[in-house]
């Protein structure tokens, strides 16, 4: 019966570690990275259209 207690404790610890990691990823993505990076990434599909238009293909 002691082994069941160990697995229950390990499961609880892994749940807390996973949730903490998830919150860390959210914090890093939305708070620390800033809005400038998102604006740059959002403009990438439109920058590709300019390159294709200049090459004369399509």
Give the alpha-carbon dihedral of 15, 18, 19, 22, to 10 degrees.
-170
Q: What pLDDT does residue 52 have? A: 54
Q: Which residues contact 52 (CB under 8 A, 6 or more apart)?
A: 58
Q: What pLDDT does residue 16 have? A: 95
For residue 38, is it within any domain?
yes
For residue 21, is it within any domain?
no
Mean pLDDT of successive 10-residue segments in the chain (58 residues)?
81 94 91 74 76 54
Structural domain of 51: 27-58
Kindly report whether the global pTM for this prediction surpasses the value 0.85.
no
For residue 22, is it within any domain?
no
For residue 54, is it within any domain?
yes
**Structural domains in the chain (count):** 1
């Amino acid at each position: 019966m002691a082994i069941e207690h160990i697995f229950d404790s390990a499961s609880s610890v892994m749940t807390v570690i996973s949730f903490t990691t998830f919150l860390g990823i959210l914090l890093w993505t939305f708070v620390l990275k800033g809005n400038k990076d998102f604006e740059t990434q959002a403009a990438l599909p439109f920058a590709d259209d300019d390159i294709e238009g200049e090459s004369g293909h399509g």
